[in-house]
Structure 1
Amino acid sequence: MESFSARNFVPFLLLRCFPRRNLRPLCSTIQASQSMEDENEKIYKELGLFSLKKKIADAISRAEMIAPLALEFEEARRIKQEAVLQDCNLWDDIEKSTESLSALGDAIKMVNDLKDLQHKAEEVKLITQLAEMDVINHQLFKQAYEDSMRVSNFLDRYEMSKFLSGPYDKEGAWIIIEAGQEGIASEIWAEKLLVMYMIWAEKHGCKGRIIEKCAPRMGGIRSATVEFESEYFYGTFTGERGTHRMVRSSLDASVIREACSADVNVMPIFLEEADDLHVDEEDLNVSSLFLPQQQNDCKTEHAVSILHIPSGISAQSSGERSFVANKIKALARLKAKLLVAALEQGVKNVDKVRGVIANEWKHEMRRYMFRPHKMVQDLKTGIQLLDLNSVLDGNIEPLIRAHISLQRGEEIDYGLNCIKNK
């Protein structure tokens, strides 16, 4: 006797559960449901494709509008710098000649970069047209989208550079995040800020490198230091210095139920060449830095702290594998702090930096409201953003723009005006 297999059992079950006269409507229903799912999937794909097309078209349009004017401006800057070099004797003033050569090199590099940008935008446009001819080719559209985002990111950096003209704005940046004194809540909050900055940087084509992280066993971070070795990151992040406070209030916002904080400091990393700032050894107090044992990610046995005795400014390093390496890193950070302090105090010589109050930058600059309304309040600029989750996901561009606008005393218009006014 033939065994009763599962293959024979399924039709048998259908006949037992549904009379033969009802099978056709059931099959029709299944087919209709499948057809509807296929149609929905098609619609979702088309919507996704439409969104990609829109973003690609916006990037191409922006490049076609801005790049020619930017190229014209940079070509004029290059010609001007060449004329300056022709009119002077390079050996008469070595310092001035070095500055002129550096400016010429920057102008030539920017001209070449803008020409490459125009070629890339044309390639994106061509790829998009080829994808359209092939009806739908998701791989081609994906390539075009990725290239268009690179074009857009370059334009973002170029436009930003027109407003970052401070002495160290062009440099990279160290960002140091320290949890407040509210225990585990502040340590978790500090980690959220770290993730926020890492996501923003990655979206703008720079992957931050965490060189130090002190993480308690309960979660979060006690402190962390991140390096961003890309141009203009110091000028971009300077406005983030200060205390970032997370607040949860009562439903009517009359009583603060919970609050914790984290402090953010920013220092320049000199990208092209280390600054030759001389600091007398006699003015430095170098010591081993002992950190709490629960901060299990820190290399406590090699940590170094350097104090500049005349100013009271100090810097630390614990992320390297030897005492000597940490000392070099700590000294580089100390010099960066001294240069920034001298600039802020209006003195030319760091030996004249006096009376610096420790951690004077630690003032509340931003509030992140989790309840009753999810919003972000920037106390320096007065700007308010109603989408808290979006900000924590790295979308801090409006806050950065507002700070740069405030520092430069002008309204930033991301578009042609920033180039026309130059």
Structure 2
Amino acid sequence: MDSELRDACQNLTERILYLKDSLDYDVKQEELKSINAKMAAPGFWDNQEKAQKQVTELSRLKALLNPLDELIAGAEDLEVLLEFAEDEETPETVTEIQQTVERLTATLSTVELQTMLGKPEDALNAYVTIQAGEGGTDAADWAEMLLRMYMRWAENRGFGLELYERTDGEEAGIRHATLLIKGDYAYGYLKGESGNHRLVRMSPFNSAGKRQTAFAAVDVTPEIDDELDIEIDWDKDVNEDTMRAGGAGGQHVNKTESAVRLTHLATGVVVRCQNERSQHQNRAAARKMLLAKLYQLEIEKREAEVASRRGEKSKIGFGGETIRNYVLQPEQFVKDTRSELKTANPLTVLEGELDPFLEAYLKWALEHSDQGQ
């Protein structure tokens, strides 16, 4: 067996052992046993809300520990295979070692990525708000393309979706929309999407067929727990407007003032909700969204690099921070301005194949966080 393969085995084993220690594997195993014991006890389901939180925590622990168990067992198998190779090296043994290394490396990369999502809010659902920027009708069309991209990404992962509000553009596309993506670590994966997204293409809305640049801003916020202590006086601190819901379909659309818009006076944060049937339901959903955005602002105050990033994108369009370029003509590529990741197939990205960019951002953010310490 060549030295390169032997070094790969040693490096892989060291990474697995380091990951086991850094994740407090033994502690999490005890937490798993504790939750299982609680679930087996009489009366566990008497308090449905409390029980559901335990079930959710159990699911997250299993999602982390199951692949980690596989890695630990795989490292032990690899050690045995290496001993066999030392005693009697055969082509079959070497091939099995190579296949084991490849399999464990893929699993390890997935678990290492999940460890980058270690902040409490990373595990939460995510509000994704999209707003058309500079570029006229092209910007509105571009905003709708982004909305579809995130919906496809969520569907590909089996995540739940709720469209909280959508305001259509005058000719095509949307002026803004808010989507709730429901799934484990939805916010953690999507948090790097906040910023300006720039599209370059031959405009279908330009009779001369000229190349057009359009911008849309994306804002990602965690759906926080109602129990978080955020003080707000809804009568004094927030301005509420009601209006008829826009968009197509539904017997209540454009007939009753069921849509609700809330403006937080101190910060200028605005949220809208029109997807529910009643004004009361929309108000409740909008208040929850507003609390989430205020919580996000508190996160940004504690994290200087995030606050800086959010400040740069405060202007939607030219002059704000563009985090990703999507070029459809004359060239074809998508390039992230932070991680420098580039792909020559923008259509697959727009169909929801976002994972390479999401993972590249998380790795980039982790590296820059380490450098800043």
TM-score when normalising by structure 2: 0.62
Aligned counterparts of 2:279 and 2:116: Cα–Cα separation in 1: 40
Is the counterpart of residue 241 in structure 1 residue 197 in structure 2? no
Q: Are the equivalent residues in 2 in contact too, given 1:312–1:357 (CA < 8 A)?
A: no
Aligned counterparts of 2:202 and 2:63: Cα–Cα separation in 1: 53
SS of equivalent residue, structure 2 residue 324: strand
Partner of residue 185, structure 1 = 138
Partner of residue 27, structure 2 = 77
2:239 is aligned, of 281, 285, 306, to 285
Counterpart residue type for residue 324 of structure 1: H
1:406 is aligned, of 342, 364, 367, to 364
Is the counterpart of residue 338 in structure 1 residue 294 in structure 2? yes
Partner of residue 199, structure 1 = 152
Counterpart residue type for residue 337 of structure 1: K
Shift of 1:223: 2.6
Shift of 1:171: 0.7
Larger-gyration structure (1/2)? 1
Aligned counterparts of 1:381 and 1:112: Cα–Cα separation in 2: 27
Aligned counterparts of 2:193 and 2:183: Cα–Cα separation in 1: 17
Shift of 1:280: 2.0
1:257 is aligned, of 170, 194, 211, to 211
* Cα displacement string for residues 341-395 of structure 1 (whole angstroms, at most 9, x for unaligned residues): 1121139xxxxx9xx9897274322111112210112223332222212211222
SS of equivalent residue, structure 1 residue 305: strand
1:287–1:358 CA distance, 2 compared to 1 (3 A): farther
Aligned counterparts of 2:137 and 2:63: Cα–Cα separation in 1: 50
Aligned counterparts of 1:116 and 1:405: Cα–Cα separation in 2: 20
Partner of residue 92, structure 2 = none
Partner of residue 58, structure 1 = none
Is the counterpart of residue 166 in structure 1 residue 119 in structure 2? yes
Aligned counterparts of 1:368 and 1:191: Cα–Cα separation in 2: 14
* Cα displacement string for residues 125-163 of structure 1 (whole angstroms, at most 9, x for unaligned residues): xxxxxxxxxxxxxxxxxxxxxxxxxxxx99987543311
Is the counterpart of residue 396 in structure 1 residue 354 in structure 2? yes
Aligned counterparts of 1:372 and 1:112: Cα–Cα separation in 2: 43
Aligned counterparts of 2:145 and 2:56: Cα–Cα separation in 1: 40
* Cα displacement string for residues 259-313 of structure 1 (whole angstroms, at most 9, x for unaligned residues): 122221111113x65534221232222222577x7x5469462222222222222
Aligned counterparts of 1:312 and 1:104: Cα–Cα separation in 2: 37
Partner of residue 324, structure 1 = 280
Q: Give the percent of matched residue pairs that are identical in Structure 1 and Structure 2.
A: 27
SS of equivalent residue, structure 1 residue 371: coil
Q: Are the equivalent residues in 1 in contact too, given 2:196–2:313 (CA < 8 A)?
A: no
Partner of residue 307, structure 1 = 263
Q: Are the equivalent residues in 1 in contact too, given 2:327–2:346 (CA < 8 A)?
A: yes
SS of equivalent residue, structure 2 residue 174: coil
Aligned counterparts of 2:249 and 2:152: Cα–Cα separation in 1: 22
Aligned counterparts of 1:200 and 1:108: Cα–Cα separation in 2: 21
1:408–1:368 CA distance, 2 compared to 1 (3 A): same
Greater Cα shift, 383-392 or 212-221: 212-221
Aligned counterparts of 1:112 and 1:366: Cα–Cα separation in 2: 30
TM-score when normalising by structure 1: 0.56
Shift of 1:330: 1.3
CA RMSD, Structure 1 to Structure 2 (Å) = 4.4
Q: Are the equivalent residues in 2 in contact too, given 1:71–1:115 (CA < 8 A)?
A: no
Aligned counterparts of 1:112 and 1:215: Cα–Cα separation in 2: 39
2:128 is aligned, of 175, 182, 185, to 175
Is the counterpart of residue 386 in structure 1 residue 344 in structure 2? yes
Aligned counterparts of 1:180 and 1:81: Cα–Cα separation in 2: 47
Partner of residue 275, structure 1 = 228
2:61 is aligned, of 110, 118, 124, to 110
Aligned counterparts of 1:218 and 1:225: Cα–Cα separation in 2: 20
Aligned counterparts of 1:204 and 1:345: Cα–Cα separation in 2: 31
Counterpart residue type for residue 221 of structure 1: I
Aligned counterparts of 1:398 and 1:109: Cα–Cα separation in 2: 22
Is the counterpart of residue 209 in structure 1 residue 162 in structure 2? yes
Counterpart residue type for residue 246 of structure 1: L
Aligned counterparts of 1:220 and 1:342: Cα–Cα separation in 2: 32
Q: Are the equivalent residues in 2 in contact too, given 1:214–1:297 (CA < 8 A)?
A: no
Counterpart residue type for residue 345 of structure 1: K
Unaligned stretches of 5+ residues in structure 1: 1-65, 85-101, 120-152, 251-255, 348-352, 413-422
SS of equivalent residue, structure 1 residue 226: strand
Q: Are the equivalent residues in 2 in contact too, given 1:283–1:310 (CA < 8 A)?
A: yes
Aligned counterparts of 2:129 and 2:109: Cα–Cα separation in 1: 25
Is the counterpart of residue 360 in structure 1 residue 314 in structure 2? yes
SS of equivalent residue, structure 1 residue 165: coil
